[in-house]
Amino acid sequence: MTGRLHDRILLITGAAKGIGAAAARMCVAEGAIVYLADIDAAAGQTLAQSLGENAHFLSLDVTAAADWDAACAAIADRHGRLDALVNNAAHMVIADLAQTDLESWRHVQAVNVEGALLGCQTCLPLLKHSDHGSIVNMSSTTTRLGLPPMLAYTASKAALLSLTKTLAVDFRYQGLTIRVNAILPGRINTPMLQMTERLMSGVDLETDPKVEELMAEMHIGHPEDIARAIVYLASTESAYVNGTEFVVDNATTLG
Ligand SMILES: NC(=O)c1ccc[n+]([C@@H]2O[C@H](COP(=O)([O-])OP(=O)(O)OC[C@H]3O[C@@H](n4cnc5c(N)ncnc54)[C@H](O)[C@@H]3O)[C@@H](O)[C@H]2O)c1
């Protein structure tokens, strides 16, 4: 199969649903061999099976170092390299300062920041075997806004952005051909946003029969809008794009 990701080996976390699932579909369609990693084994396995022989499910909790070791060992055995790591898995909690307890704060940081850190650390030896390695970290346009009910989440996405830029420079200084970029999506209709909107605005983006009209009114995007940015950053087309904040939000953070 040919395509923009022909023969490239990708690992996408949080690939069972939402943006990760759309990215897995699109990357396989573009010729990649994709490892879909998620804690939701039922949804992840079903999706991987539906995508054919170039899609493989990995049961992986991004906070568990042992899961990362096992995933990288499996990819090393089969391919000896990894071309792109997409740190997409995340956990969202709706809580402001008064409602935030340390345990939930720490869990959000563990999944959204430490999960990506572990991924970068564990996958680095495999990425070094790629001619054009790429790490894509899923940050958020919430890093540019003040959103009181998303305290822990926005802080985690800002930390991930900082990690992205620092690693991009670090790897370039080391002479590695591994780029590190962040995508900052606006609001995208996924299970995460559906949960958030139900709680915050009472809008049901999952079952409302006029969902497409609602999305247009609210300037909400589709998971595929972000999947296209992932394809670009995971491919060699973006060879000179490094350390960037790739905002994909239909200008909603501008006004
Ligand atoms: N949907 C949006 O509006 C939006 C906006 C900005 C940024 N983002 C970011 O995009 C990414 C994907 O978001 P989404 O909306 O598709 O989310 P989602 O909640 O719909 O899907 C997230 C996936 O991550 C998995 N996951 C959760 N914890 C995990 C863990 N510990 N280990 C492995 N997998 C885990 C879930 O099982 C799920 O399949 C996230 O990083 C999110 O912060 C989303």
Task: Kindly tell me if the per-residue pLDDT of 4 is higher than 80.
Answer: yes
Residue-wise pLDDT for 187-213, tens only, equals 999 999 999 999 999 999 999 999 999
Q: What is the pLDDT of residue 190?
A: 98
Report CA(215)–ligand 1 centroid distance (Å). 19
pTM of this prediction exceeds 0.95:
yes
Tokens of 232: 């670009």
Q: What is the pLDDT of residue 100?
A: 98
| 71 in contact with ligand 1, CB cutoff 6 A | no
Classified by CATH at the fold level, domain 9-186+221-247 comes out as Rossmann fold (3.40.50)
pLDDT mean across residues, the chain = 98
Q: Where are the alpha helices (DSSP H) in the chain?
A: 18-29, 41-50, 65-79, 102-109, 115-127, 151-173, 191-200, 211-217, 223-234
Task: Kindly tell me if the per-residue pLDDT of 88 is higher than 90.
Answer: yes
| Cα separation, 218 vs 200, whole angstroms | 14
Task: Kindly tell me if the per-residue pLDDT of 16 is higher than 80.
Answer: yes
Q: What is the pLDDT of residue 2?
A: 83
Q: What is the pLDDT of residue 1?
A: 61
Atom of ligand 1 nearest to the CA of 153: 43
